[in-house]
Amino acid sequence: MKEIFCEGRSLPEAYHKAILALYDEGDALSCNDWNQTQREISMTFVVHHPLEEPRVSKLYVGGFKELQQYVMEIVDGLLDFRVGDGFEYTYHDRMARYPLVAGEGGPEGEGFDQIAFVIRELRRNSDSRRAVIDVRDNHVDAFSSDCACLQHMQFFIRGEALHGKVLMRSNDAVEATFMNAFAFIMLQQYIAGELGVAVGTYTHRANSFHCYEKDFKLLGQYARGIQTKPLGELTYRYKDEYQELMEDSIPTILDTVENLRR
C-alpha cells in the first residue's frame, strides 16, 4: 500500500491535500465485502493550527445541521442511548463508558470514562505519554460486520499545547473524513479547555483511506475543485459564517433525538 503524508495550516488545507492525493495516487482495488471496487492509500495528514480559519470545507457530504449533530455525538454522546437499541456502539460511548471486565479495573458493566482519564492523567503529569483512548472492543468488533473505524486516540501536552493523534483502521475519504476530523478536533478543544492549555496540532492517520466506486464521480468533482479553485472558494469561516448556523440547528436536532427516545 502507498504511504502518503500531507500537512496544512488549517483543517481544510490538509484535508484537501489528502483528497487530491487519493485521487492522484490511489490504487484501484477490489472491495469484496461491499461488492465494488475502491481507490485506496494509507494516509497521514497533520493540521498545524486546527482552530485557524477557514475551518469548514465545502467538500463533504452534509451541511451545517449534520456537522453540528456529529459534533454533539462525539463530544456530548448525543446518541449513546441507542447502543443496544439499533446501534452496536457509538464512538462517545466507547470513549466515556469503555466496557470493563470483572477483575480488570472494575465490576462488569460499569464502564470506564477514558475522556475523564485523559484529563486526570495530563493534570497528574503534563509530560505523560499515557493519555490514551482506545475505541476498539475485540469482544464486539472482532465478530461484527459493523465494527468501529476509529481505533485509538492519544493526547500530549508539549510546548503548553494539547496535541491530538488519531488512528482510523478505515476511513471513507469523501463521506466521512472531514466530519470525523472536525468533530475530533472539537473534542481536542474541549479537553484542552479542561486542562487550561492551547490547542496544538492534530494528526489524522487512516490505514485505509479510501473512496468506494459509487463515489468515484464525487471524488473527481472534489479533486477538480481543489485543482482549479483557491481555498477561500472551497471553505467557510466557522466563526463568521458557520457557527451560528450550526448552533441554530441544535433545537431541531434535539427534537429529533427526543422523538427517537420516545
Domain ranges of the chain: 3-261
How much is the pLDDT for 191?
Answer: 98
pLDDT digits (tens, 9 = 90+) for 223-245: 999 999 999 999 999 999 999 99
Above 90 in pLDDT, residue 107?
no
| Beta bridge pairs of residue 46 | 7, 203
What does the block give as the cell for 196?
487550561
3-state SS of 150-217? EEEEEEEEECCEEEEEEEECCEECCCCHHHHHHHHHHHHHHHHHHHCCEEEEEEEEEEEEEEEHHHHH
How much is the pLDDT for 144?
Answer: 87
How much is the pLDDT for 111?
Answer: 85
Q: With a threshold of 0.75, does the pTM exceed it?
A: yes
Please give the CATH topology (third level) of the domain spanning 3-261.
Thymidylate Synthase; Chain A (3.30.572)
How much is the pLDDT for 86?
Answer: 83
Above 60 in pLDDT, residue 200?
yes
Task: Report the helix count and the strand count for the chain, using DSSP H and E.
Answer: 9, 10
For 46, how many CA atoms within 13 A lie in the half-sphere containing its CB? 7
